């Protein structure tokens, strides 16, 4: 090539690169591929977990951000986990798209919201839709109403989306009408491996162990991530540098029989097998657990049950984490139990030692459940001792629980009900819990109540499960199933 032609080619290449950067608002990933924007902030800052957040202010070479204005929150709620990124926001009165340069593959996309008055805009007046590419994440979403319903000062909505090769991740915020506005306080993008489609989950459909492969491009929304029997785990203490938050499970327990929760025996060491990479869940999840308790006869008369409110009309992936962490449970068939999800048998004769290979070895199981209807509904996860294998102890155990909503392919959407109602608690249920709760410790009255509640729960569970099996309305191949999950 002639020297005279080299310079124009180089200039064209540089111009192309600069134009691509401008079109992407200058939001480039760090060396780890992670992006964090403190929307509306004038400078970079660090949150309480030590994570650095960049300002979303557009560089001079990019198109001006005419659709959005920076605003400061009018009030700092004492319960906010950090000043950053909640106290500033980018407010939109018309549609605006953030474009992020990310590598192809799956990423966590987290949206941070703090419902406050921003300037002359009241928190209650915000109503928005949010999309990631062609995928609808939120529709007519009111942050203030949702936070009020959950009794939370702020919201972090976590999604997992698959970015195709050669494409940027475009996140668009759009007011629902001319009289409303959209806003966002923070945007976080964290690259992640595919932890959803492998291993293939089992459909919880009533004692039929049907495997149900998930399309690789399926998008998910994290609904719950619980450290069962343990304390909350902050994003900074998560494994794999994914910065996930793990909440406590106590408020989601059903009834007065909450079993016992405990930490691992000092002589037990958590040993991740090759099938469970450490990034699946941190050690703290497997180092605590909740079981039914030492009273075998009491355990036979109730289910250890969690109730989680979700959006109806979607498939859900439930991941249950297990690890035997206390003596004397070190051998097979010492503890065996059944797992029920929405009154459907998900697994019979669950033996953690048999499945994991030994004490202190983590293992997890994935299940799919179908919900129908509209609005909101409850997911029931229940554990009950298995007597068919005649185990040494009539008990059950759980260490961690995650619930993910799957996108609907018929509408290419994850958007569900706009108001998440607060978790219903049993009457008289205390707000604080002791370090260890024993079913038998409450005396004879507590045992009697537990037995009565448990017997009723088992009766109801079996009756509903039988009815569900007879109707078979949620099994693969039906019209209802195809409409929900049709690739």
Q: What is the tens place of the pLDDT at every residue in 17-58?
A: 333 333 334 455 555 899 999 999 999 999 999 999 999 986
Work out how many domains the chain is built from and give that number: 2
Angstrom CA distances, 159 to 192, 246, 404, stand at 12, 15, 9
Q: What value does the mean pLDDT of the chain take? A: 82
Confidence at residue 208, expressed as pLDDT on a 0 to 100 scale: 65
Using pLDDT thresholds of 50, 70 and 90, give the confidence band for residue 209. Answer: low
Which pLDDT score is estimated for 227? 98
Q: What number of CA atoms fall less than 13 Å from residue 205's CA on the CB side? A: 20
pLDDT digits (tens, 9 = 90+) for 379-437: 999 999 999 999 999 999 999 999 999 999 999 999 997 754 443 333 333 232 322 22
**Does pLDDT of 78 surpass 70?**
yes
- pLDDT at position 370 over 50: yes
Same-domain pairing of 328 and 396: yes
Query: Where is the domain boundary, 158, 191, 224?
Result: 191
- pLDDT at res. 210: 81
Looking at the predicted structure, is the pLDDT value of residue 340 above 90? yes
Q: What is the mean pLDDT of residues 324-346?
A: 95
Residue 453 lies in a domain: no
Comparing 15 with 385, the larger pLDDT belongs to 385
186 and 207 housed in the same domain? no
Q: What is the mean pLDDT of residues 360-385?
A: 96
The predicted pLDDT at position 462 comes to 41
Q: Is the pLDDT of residue 4 over 50?
A: no
How far is 346 from 41, CA to CA, in rounded Å? 47
389 and 421 in a single domain? The answer is yes
In this predicted structure, the answer to whether residue 372 has a pLDDT above a threshold of 50 is yes
Q: Residue 328: how many CB atoms within 10 A of its CB?
A: 11
Buried b / exposed e across 428-444, counting CB within 10 Å, b at 16+?
A: eeeeeeeeebebeeeee
Angstrom distance (rounded) from CA 415 to CA 406: 10
Residue 241 has pLDDT above 60, yes or no: yes
Identify whether the C-beta of residue 400 lies closer than 8 Å to the C-beta of residue 320: yes
The last residue of a domain, from among 171, 191, 211? 191
Q: Are residues 174 and 222 both part of a single domain?
A: no
C-alpha pair distances (Å), 175 with each of 93, 158, 172, 180, 348? 6, 20, 10, 6, 48
> pTM of the predicted model, to two decimals?
0.82
pLDDT tier at 199, thresholds 50, 70, 90: confident
Query: Do 67 and 163 belong to one domain?
Result: yes
167 falls in which pLDDT band (50, 70, 90)?
confident
152 with 247, same domain: the answer is: no
What per-residue confidence (pLDDT) applies to 181?
98
Q: Are 153 and 208 found together in one domain?
A: no
pLDDT for the residue 228: 98
Q: What is the pLDDT of residue 1?
A: 46
pLDDT at residue 30 in the model: 56
Whether 87 and 183 map to the same domain: the answer is yes
Q: Is the pLDDT of residue 319 over 80?
A: yes
Q: Which residue has the higher pLDDT, 432 or 273?
A: 273
Q: Looking at residue 13, what is its pLDDT?
A: 36
Show the domain range for 106.
25-191
Give the span between the Cα atoms of 197 and 213, in whole angstroms: 7
Q: What is the CATH number of the domain that holds 128?
A: 2.60.120.430
Q: Do 140 and 242 share a domain, yes or no?
A: no
In whole angstroms, give the CA distance from residue 191 to residue 337: 36
169 and 211 fall within a common domain: no
Whether the ω angle into residue 181 lies within 30 degrees of 0, i.e. cis, is no
């Amino acid at each position: 090539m002639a020297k005279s032609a080299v310079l124009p080619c180089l200039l064209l290449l540089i111009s192309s690169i600069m134009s691509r950067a401008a079109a992407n608002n200058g939001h480039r990933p760090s060396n780890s591929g992670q992006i964090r924007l403190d929307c509306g902030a004038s400078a970079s800052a660090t949150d309480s977990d030590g994570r650095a957040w960049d300002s979303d202010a557009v560089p001079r070479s990019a198109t001006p951000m005419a659709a959005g204005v920076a605003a400061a929150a009018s009030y700092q709620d004492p319960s906010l986990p950090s000043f950053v990124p909640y106290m500033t926001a980018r407010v939109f009165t018309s549609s605006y798209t953030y474009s992020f340069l990310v590598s192809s593959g799956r990423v966590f996309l987290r949206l941070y919201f703090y419902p406050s008055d921003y300037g002359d805009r009241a928190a209650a007046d915000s109503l928005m839709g949010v999309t990631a590419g062609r995928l609808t994440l939120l529709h007519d979403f009111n942050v203030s109403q949702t936070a009020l319903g959950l009794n939370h000062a702020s919201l972090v909505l976590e999604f997992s989306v698959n970015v195709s090769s050669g494409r940027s991740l475009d996140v668009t915020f759009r007011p629902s009408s001319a009289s409303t506005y959209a806003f966002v306080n923070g945007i976080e993008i964290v690259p992640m491996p595919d932890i959803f489609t492998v291993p293939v989950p089992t459909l919880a459909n009533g004692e039929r162990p049907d495997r149900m492969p998930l399309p690789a491009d399926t998008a998910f929304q994290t609904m719950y991530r619980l450290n069962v029997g343990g304390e909350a785990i902050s994003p900074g203490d998560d494994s794999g540098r994914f910065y996930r938050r793990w909440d406590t499970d106590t408020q989601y327990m059903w009834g007065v029989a909450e079993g016992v929760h405990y930490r691992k025996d000092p002589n037990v060491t958590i040993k991740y097998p090759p099938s469970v990479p450490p990034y699946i869940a941190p050690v703290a999840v497997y180092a605590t657990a909740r079981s039914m308790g030492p009273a075998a006869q009491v355990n036979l008369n109730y289910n250890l049950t969690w109730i989680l409110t979700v959006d109806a009309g979607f498939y859900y992936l439930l991941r249950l984490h297990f690890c035997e962490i206390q003596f004397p449970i070190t051998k097979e068939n010492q503890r065996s139990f059944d797992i029920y999800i929405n009154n459907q048998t998900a697994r019979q004769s669950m033996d953690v030692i048999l499945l994991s290979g030994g004490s202190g070895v983590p293992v997890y199981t994935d299940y799919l459940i179908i919900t129908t209807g509209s609005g909101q509904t409850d997911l029931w996860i229940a554990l009950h001792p298995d007597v068919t294998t005649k185990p040494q102890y009539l008990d059950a155990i759980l260490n961690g629980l995650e619930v993910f909503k799957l996108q609907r392919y018929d509408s290419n959407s994850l958007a569900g009900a706009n108001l998440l109602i607060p978790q219903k608690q049993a009457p008289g249920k205390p707000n604080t819990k002791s370090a260890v709760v024993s079913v038998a410790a409450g005396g004879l009255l507590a045992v009697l109540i537990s037995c009565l509640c448990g017997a009723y729960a088992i009766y109801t569970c079996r009756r509903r499960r039988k009815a569900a099996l007879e109707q078979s309305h949620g099994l693969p191949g039906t019209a209802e199933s195809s409409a929900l999950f049709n690739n």
